[in-house]
A and B are shown apart, each in its own frame.
Chain A
Amino acid sequence: MIVGTQKPIEEIWEMVKEFKRVLVYGCNTCVAICHAGGGKEAEIIASMIRMKAIEEGREMDVNHAAIERHCEPEFFEPLMEDVKTYDLVLSTACGVGVNFLTQRIGEIPVYPGINTSFYGGVPQAGVFTELCGGCGNCILHLTGGICPIVRCSKSLLNGPCGGTNKGKCEVSDQVDCAWYLIVERMKQLGTLEKLLEIQPPKNWATGTHGGPRRVVLEHIAELEEKEEKAKAEVKK
């Protein structure tokens, strides 16, 4: 899932204080699980903004709402007319949601209420760890299911650097050395010899370094188009 963390209320206040009608708009999928931007958090942020407004003597109308997902258009539809009555939407969805709503909302600004952090998992309640770099060219079958792109602080592809200390990364003793984990896992699987093959320089163009990415599934897009047409025919 996408992991996010709340922005400090001071930073949020600086963003929103000049607006009269503000909607704090939560997303009930990933960012709700990490307690950053679901409906509950949107409600809390909205009341914190109202308190700030009272403190500073500003007249503001601050409300909150939430939908299941901010990354697919159909989820927006039921609330869109209402959303468009605000001066500002403070989205507590991930950055995808902020961008996606921006493309659909017309002239109303959409500001980020959270910091979108990474793709991660929840090893225990309240703990989130980064596990995938979204590089667009997965090699997890070569590294025992442990991602060196994002779990190694140097994205090394051919083994550990000299900074591994007691299984931890030189960056912090709170961070596991990914290559330590990879070697241990490959030993467990009996496939250590796979690591002896030299991995050539990676083509990063499939990641964020090749410009904005787009995936098109021709057959699905065509099918959708056909269905739309058929519906239109029936209406006629």
Chain B
Amino acid sequence: MAQKRIELPQGTLDLLILRTLALEPQHGWAISERIHQISSDVLLIQQGSLYPALHRLERRGWIKAKWGTSENNRRAKYYELTKTGRKQLELEKDSWKKLAAAVAQILETA
């Protein structure tokens, strides 16, 4: 299974996690699966970056964790967006769009 992996720029992972959690509370594995699927298999989040990122976001108070039961009836740690997290998502989304547009513009004109 040859996958094209793209290195995520610094800070982008946080944005993707927040966006994924905006729909519904999820556990870590589901988050990585979802990003993988939605990005059409381009983005593969390594556990090595996912879990430190989740714990960091939790520390900042953007997401909070609680233990729940998964689809296959196992205890899993679910993360959900907090109020500040939702605000942060809007902020980061905006700045990402601006950045992407700016980069695109430079790439096309220069």
- B partners with A: no
